[in-house]
Amino acid sequence: MKVLVTYFSQTGNTEKIAKAICEEAALANEADLKKLEDLSSGDFAGYDFIFIGSPLHASKLAGPVQEFLGSIKAGSGQKMAAFITHFSPAYPDQAMDEFTEPIKAACKEKGIEYKGYFDCQGVLAESLHERVKKKQNLTDEQWADMVKQMTGRPNEEDEGKAKAFAKEVLA
Ligand SMILES: Cc1cc2nc3c(=O)[nH]c(=O)nc-3n(C[C@H](O)[C@H](O)[C@H](O)COP(=O)(O)O)c2cc1C
């Protein structure tokens, strides 16, 4: 099977997960790792299975990922799975439907089989800490706890979980 792992990543978190997924996919497939910005919508058709990755931006998929989904020129019999990183620890306990909806809708429209998503925490860029702390109205203590939870993420455990997800959806 020909597998594409494509992603948008500004600070490397989503890229880390993309690399882990690609490593797993390459064990039994021909797998390519490509940044979304290096991909043209036509490239897409040559793959049997596509993993697409995005950070959460303002509770949505990142703009370039949303845009790309609209421009896909699908081949036949393709499958797609998503991976998402976010700084908030709350998301794993919440339904991610809101974030995966645009991916599911694009798959439906283009006749691609949607295979599910993986998500994990990713550290928030330092430059945004003050703004987010204020916006979420958190005390110093609450924010310190938040920072503690996101520091070092995605970690080895996250990468391992991403690989297990890839193995499952590719099977
Ligand atoms: C503009 C912007 C908006 C963000 N909005 C959210 C958000 O709504 N919820 C969240 O949990 N994380 C949010 N984040 C944090 C990122 O999703 C998180 O740090 C992600 O792991 C970054 O991935 P990257 O390193 O691949 O760019 C936001 C980050 C940026 C830059």
Residue 92: what pLDDT? 62
The ranges of the chain with pLDDT < 50 are: none
Residue 98: what pLDDT? 78
Q: Domain of 48: which CATH number? A: 3.40.50.360
Q: Which of 83, 86, 146 to mutate to test the pocket of ligand 1 (most atoms within 8 A of CB)?
A: 86
In a domain, 63, yes or no: yes
Question: Rounded to an integer, what distance in angstroms lies between the CA atom of residue 110 and that of residue 80?
Answer: 11
Which pTM was predicted?
0.96
Residue 145: what pLDDT? 94
Q: How many alpha carbons fall within 13 Å on the CB side of residue 71?
A: 13
Q: Ligand 1 mean position to 127 CA, how many Å?
A: 12
What domain range includes position 93? Answer: 2-124+153-170
Residue 44: what pLDDT? 86
Q: Is the backbone of residue 34 left (phi > 0), alpha (psi -120 to 50) or beta? A: beta
| 48 secondary structure, DSSP code | S
Rounded to 10 deg, the angle between the 13-25 and 156-170 helix axes is: 40
In a domain, 41, yes or no: yes
Please, what is the end-to-end C-alpha distance for the chain in angstroms?
A: 11
Atom 3 (ligand 1) nearest CA: 57
Residue 153: what pLDDT? 97
In a domain, 25, yes or no: yes
In a domain, 147, yes or no: no
